Amino acid sequence: MSQKSHTFEDALDLELGGSLSTPHVNYTTYGELNASRDNVIWACHALTANSEVGDWWNALFGEGELFDPTKYFIICANNLGSPYGTSSPKTINPTTGEGYRHEFPAYTIRDTAALHLRLLDHLNIASIHCLIGGSCGGNIAQEMAISLGDRVKSMRIMCCSAQESPWVISIHESQRIAMHADLTFKGNEPTAGQEGLRGARAFALPFYRSHASFAIRQSEDDLEKVSDFKAASYVRYQGQKFVDRYDPFCYYHQLNALDTHNVGRGRGSIEQALYMIKADTQVIGFSSDLLIPTSEQHRLASLIPGASYVEIETQFGHDAFLIETDALREVLVM
């Protein structure tokens, strides 16, 4: 594993009108690039993950696994807005000498894809053998595949959609309301926005899982219990755990960016946009996904030329793409 970074000299003009004067990207690589520079596995990470795909998806990425660094050159870049090193609200604004925070320019999922495409060209990579991503990473992968055409040989995407749905946007807006309810969110102190972030994450957590998964892991054994429930403790714990590792301003901007996801924007229609994908595509859905239901996966598979669809039965909802790795190994076609 090698952690790297690159700062581009040319500004990144953003889709919504702003720009980043010297955009920066952190990325992690595994393995070696072959002589033809075409043994590349490009992994797009989910919303709050990082570039160390060998850690959080280690059942798929690692020696002896499906994506083996002894065979492939694996790249995962931190998304735009991520607090893990790529240009984000945590980045120092060269104009003020302080972190951007609220002043970070508005950006889209397509802008994240554009930054990754710059990195691809910087590394002088001829083609991508397999482009893979789940959730937000699947959205980014679609944008990259549309832009790269036949330079992407295969694509494997899961838990994603062609356009962010009203259902998901409403969840994001509820999270933003929780963040704005924290009066420190507008301040500049080091702990600004943390209480709101805790609430926003706790609110969203059930949507990433399922009724059945909570029943399995958070049910009470004591028939007389009337307070301090396991489920309540669990979401409090997860909210605090998120605060300990994440930046409130990055999360807020990332939610905004997710809402912009629509591959059809500026391309005539979603149908026309997905028709531009040339990669051999496999779309994977998870039966209990509340956030991005399987109907969205079916739509992708029906509109991407030649795409196939497979569904994994699970009780673990949207996050199953990180949990049901044994099932993923069985269905992923390479």
Question: What is the token pair recorded at 47?
Answer: 């919303």
What single-letter DSSP state applies at residue 85?
S
Going from the C-alpha of 166 to that of each of 60, 170, 201, 331, the distances in angstroms are 32, 6, 19, 30
| DSSP states of 282-311 | EEEEETT-SSS-HHHHHHHHHHSTT-EEEE
Going from the C-alpha of 254 to that of each of 177, 247, 310, the distances in angstroms are 15, 11, 29
Cβ proximity of 163 and 189 under 8 Å = no
Place of tokens 């996801």: 261
Q: Please pick, among 111, 247, 289, 319, the residue that the annotation labels catalytic.
A: 289
> 65 phi and psi, to 5 degrees?
-95, 180
Active site annotation includes 289: yes
User: Closest Cα partner for 135 from 30, 292, 260?
Assistant: 292
Place of tokens 């996904």: 289
Q: Please pick, among 135, 161, 210, 288, the residue that the annotation labels catalytic.
A: 135
Q: Please pick, among 24, 129, 253, 318, the residue that the annotation labels catalytic.
A: 318
Q: Which helix (H) or strand (E) holds 2?
A: strand 2-7
Active site annotation includes 135: yes
Going from the C-alpha of 107 to that of each of 49, 87, 92, 117, 300, the distances in angstroms are 18, 11, 17, 16, 24
> 25 phi and psi, to 5 degrees?
-135, 130
User: Closest Cα partner for 231 from 245, 243, 220, 242?
Assistant: 220
- What is the C-alpha separation between 152 and 134, in angstroms, rounded? 17
Active site annotation includes 261: no
Residue 205, SS3?
Answer: helix
CA quadruple 201, 202, 206, 212: dihedral, nearest 10: 140
User: Closest Cα partner for 57 from 241, 254, 300, 322?
Assistant: 322
Catalytically annotated residues: 135, 289, 318
